[in-house]
């Protein structure tokens, strides 16, 4: 189990500097350096990096994130693999850590200057944050909460939609970002209404998933159909419909995303 460090800024105080550990090397395109099919391990970074971040302790060893130079000499037997393609080729726990590493590296790079006064920022002495020495603005790693909801009818059918972001025919649960001042449940009601025109009720929490594309937290829900006709939002939805478990379009099944977990759970209930 991954156990995050409480204090991450003072590496020597953490008592882990120089210890053998995992090194997640990240470039500007969220590619991860994989050596001989696995995450590199060692006492030092496998390549020269711009910044180093202690992410925490995983199964007794430190976990590091390293921002790679634009042009580095990749060691023999090593290659860059994008975070999306990395899923399934390494341990699931390591893939989750790779997503954490990519988000921390990207946040640190994107906040080298203050968003208020444009002064260069410094790493905070105690927190994972960057602070402006001129105006005091603090920048913490950002998370964007998003809901994803599988709506079901009383006849057991589920609402699946083909989002405009998918180039090929591919259906999934409805999703959208939470607005300021909005609860998660209010977001579920609004997003479903906006995207397909129907009302929902009996909103139930399903689970959550860190989603590092680029810095989201996906919060999954199940809901019941309460009324209305399907009217897909043209700018967002190519097609939407009610589907039974034995007549499905292409959908995620389990796998790397909470969308697949929602659909897999619904299928098990329908088939069992």
Fold held by 2-110: Nucleoside Triphosphate Pyrophosphohydrolase (3.90.79)
pLDDT at 243: 98
pLDDT digits (tens, 9 = 90+) for 207-219: 999 999 999 999 9
Delimiting residues of CATH 3.90.79.20 domain(s) in the chain: 2-110
Least trusted range by pLDDT, from 123-127, 131-135, 177-181: 123-127
Does position 5 have pLDDT exceeding 60, yes or no? no
* 224 phi and psi angles, rounded to 5 deg: -105, 145
For the ranges 19-28, 74-83, 153-162, the maximum mean pLDDT occurs at 153-162
**Rounded average pLDDT over 60-72:** 85
| Six-digit token string for 49 | 């990096």
Does position 13 have pLDDT exceeding 60, yes or no? no
Strand 158-163 to 237-243 pairing: antiparallel
pLDDT at 185: 98
Omega before residue 214 within 30° of 0, cis? yes
Residues 6+ apart with CB under 8 A from 86: 32, 34, 95, 98
> Domain 144-271 carries which CATH code?
3.90.79.10
Residue closest to 64 by CA, chosen among 100, 107, 22: 22
Does position 102 have pLDDT exceeding 90, yes or no? yes
Structure-model confidence comparison of residues 10 and 152, the more confident one? 152
Across all residues in the chain, what is the average pLDDT? 91
Structure-model confidence comparison of residues 1 and 171, the more confident one? 171
**Rounded average pLDDT over 9-25:** 66
pLDDT at 77: 83
Query: 240 burial class (0-12, 13-18, 19+ CB within 10 angstroms)?
Result: buried
Q: How far apart are CA 266 and CA 245, in angstroms?
A: 8
pLDDT at 20: 84
pLDDT-based confidence at residue 12 (cuts at 50, 70, 90): very low
Least trusted range by pLDDT, from 43-52, 76-85, 176-185, 246-255: 43-52
Delimiting residues of CATH 3.90.79.10 domain(s) in the chain: 144-271
């Amino acid at each position: 189990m991954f156990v995050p460090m409480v204090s991450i800024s003072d590496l020597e105080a953490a008592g882990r500097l120089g210890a053998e550990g995992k090194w997640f090397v990240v470039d500007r395109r969220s590619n991860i350096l994989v050596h001989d099919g696995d995450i590199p391990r060692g006492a030092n970074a496998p390549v020269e990096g711009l910044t180093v971040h202690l992410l925490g302790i995983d199964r007794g060893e430190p976990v590091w994130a390293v921002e790679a130079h634009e042009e580095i000499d990749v060691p023999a037997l090593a290659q860059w693999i994008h975070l999306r393609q990395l899923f399934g080729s390494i341990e699931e726990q390591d893939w989750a850590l790779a997503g954490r590493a990519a988000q921390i590296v990207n946040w640190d790079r994107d906040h080298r200057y203050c968003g208020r006064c444009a002064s260069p920022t410094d790493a905070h002495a105690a927190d994972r944050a960057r602070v402006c020495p001129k105006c005091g603005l603090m920048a913490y790693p950002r998370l964007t909460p998003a809901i994803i909801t599988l709506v079901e009818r009383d006849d057991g059918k589920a609402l699946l939609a083909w989002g405009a972001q998918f180039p090929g025919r591919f259906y999934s649960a409805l999703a959208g970002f939470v607005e300021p001042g909005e609860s998660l449940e209010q977001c579920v009601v609004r997003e479903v209404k906006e995207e397909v025109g129907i009302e929902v009720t009996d909103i139930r929490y399903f689970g959550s998933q860190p989603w590092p594309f680029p810095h989201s937290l996906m919060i999954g829900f199940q809901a019941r159909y309460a009324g209305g006709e399907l009217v897909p939002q043209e700018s967002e939805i190519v097609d939407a419909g009610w589907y039974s478990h034995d007549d499905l379009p292409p959908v995620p099944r389990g796998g790397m995303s909470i969308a697949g977990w929602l659909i897999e759970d619904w299928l098990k209930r329908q088939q069992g």
